[in-house]
Every structure is written in structure tokens, then in C-alpha cells.
Amino acid sequence: MSPSSPPGGSSPPPPTSPDSASSDTEKKVLQIKRLLSLLPLMDKVKDFLTGDAQVMLILGDSGAGKSTSIRHLEHEIWQEYKAGGRIPLFINLPALERPEKNLVAEQLRTHNFLEDQIRKLKKHRRFILICDGYDES
């Protein structure tokens, strides 16, 4: 160990350049802006979840943050989940072989649910299907 090495033998992280610090700050600002832009969407989603509508479609250009938004939506629904309530189920449609056949069962299989468990869930529980990649499948 050299005299300039810190105890434990590891060296300190390299200093960040002003450019990389600026880039990190810009990324954080963009993240915050994106999260703030979700607030009106979350209000609409809450209205949807408490209303009579059966389907809600979120449209946007490629790269607009739809996938990120609906992942956040899934997380929020889980945070407010109450026993016996509807189960949010995120489904990446392009990843499924035959989504038109049995969407819920096929998605649950990707999470290693057994057939008996799938039957019981489908019979006794309700789901909120959060589908991504509809225009890609």
C-alpha cells in the first residue's frame, strides 16, 4: 500500500468533471419534470379506477415515457392495494407468444405461477390489466 492510499487499500472515486456533473444535474431535472408531468395522468387514472369505464388508453409518441408512466402507475396501484382489491398486472404484450389466447394466464406463467394458482386467481380475483406495447405486438 502506498503512503497516499487510504486505509483499506481502495482509492477514492475519480473527481467528476464539470461536464459530467452538469450532465447528472440535467438528467435529474429531466426526471423531475417527467414525474411532475405524470400528476395530471395520475388524477385521470384515479378517476378511471373509481368510475364505470372499462378501458383507458394512454397514447403518445415513441420515447414519450408511456412505458415508464404505466410502470409508475402499476407501482402506485400496488401502494394503494387493499386485501381483496383488484390486482394490477403489468403485461408487456410483445413479450407474450399469444396474448389474444389467455392474456392473464400467460402473464402469470411468466412469473412462475402454477396452473392451479392461476385458475384460483382467475376465479376469485379481479385484475387491472396494464398493457404495454399494444402497437408493437
* Model confidence pLDDT, tens digit, residues 5-64: 444 455 555 555 555 567 888 888 877 777 666 677 778 888 888 888 888 888 888 888
Domain with 116 in it:
18-136
Domain count across the chain: 1
Report the distance separating Cα 48 and Cα 12, nearest Å: 51
Tell me whether residue 11 is in a domain: no
| 38 falls within a domain | yes
106: helix, strand or coil: helix
Q: Does residue 102 belong to any structural domain of this protein?
A: yes
Over the stretch 58-96, which tens digit does the pLDDT of each residue have?
888 888 888 888 888 888 888 888 888 888 899 888 888
> Is 4 a member of any domain?
no
72 within domain boundaries: yes
Torsions phi, psi of 3, nearest 5? -60, -25
What is the number of other CB atoms lying within 10 angstroms of the CB of residue 35?
Answer: 13
Cβ proximity of 73 and 130 under 8 Å = yes
d(CA 132, CA 2): 54
